[in-house]
Amino acid sequence: MELRARTPAGAVLVACAERLADDLAAGAATRDRERSYPFAGLRLLQRAGYFAAPVPEEVGGIGVGSVHDTVVASSRLARGDASLAIGVNMHLVVVLNLARRWQMARAAGNVRRERAFGTSLRAIASGRVVMAAALSEPGQDLTRPATRAERTGAGWRIDGQKIFCTMSPAATVLVTSVGFRGEDGAERYGYVEIPVDTPGVTVNDDWDALGMRSSGSHSVSFQNVELPAGALRGGFPAGELAPYVERNLPSGLFHASASLGIAEAAFTHTARADRIGDDARARMLVAESAVDLATARAAIARAAMLIDEHHAANPAGPGPEDEIIAVFAEGQAAKTYVNEAATRVVDRALALSGGAGYLNGSPLARAYRDVRAGAFMHPLGANRAYGFLSDVALGRPYDLR
- Cα–Cα distance measured from residue 343 to residue 376, given in angstroms and rounded to the nearest whole number: 13
- Give yes or no for residue 342 having a pLDDT over 90: yes
Considering the chain, what is the average pLDDT of its residues? Answer: 95
- Give yes or no for residue 400 having a pLDDT over 90: no
Please give the average per-residue pLDDT across 183-208, as a whole number: 96
**What confidence score (pLDDT) does residue 163 get?**
97
- Give yes or no for residue 354 having a pLDDT over 90: no
Using DSSP, state whether 133 is helix, strand or coil. strand
pLDDT digits (tens, 9 = 90+) for 72-91: 999 999 999 999 999 999 99
* H-type alpha helices, 48-110: 67-80, 82-108
- Give yes or no for residue 233 having a pLDDT over 90: no
**What confidence score (pLDDT) does residue 162 get?**
98
**What confidence score (pLDDT) does residue 399 get?**
77
pLDDT band for position 356 (50/70/90)?
Answer: confident
- Give yes or no for residue 401 having a pLDDT over 80: no
Q: What is the 3-state secondary structure (H, E, C) of 220-248?
A: EEEEEEEEEHHHCCCCEECCCHHHHHHHC
**What confidence score (pLDDT) does residue 276 get?**
85
Percentage with pLDDT > 70 across the chain: 100
pLDDT digits (tens, 9 = 90+) for 94-149: 999 999 999 999 999 999 999 999 999 999 999 899 999 999 999 889 999 999 99
pLDDT band for position 395 (50/70/90)?
Answer: very high
Please give the average per-residue pLDDT across 321-337, as a whole number: 97
Please give the average per-residue pLDDT across 238-264, as a whole number: 96
> Are 142 and 400 within 8 A, CB to CB?
yes
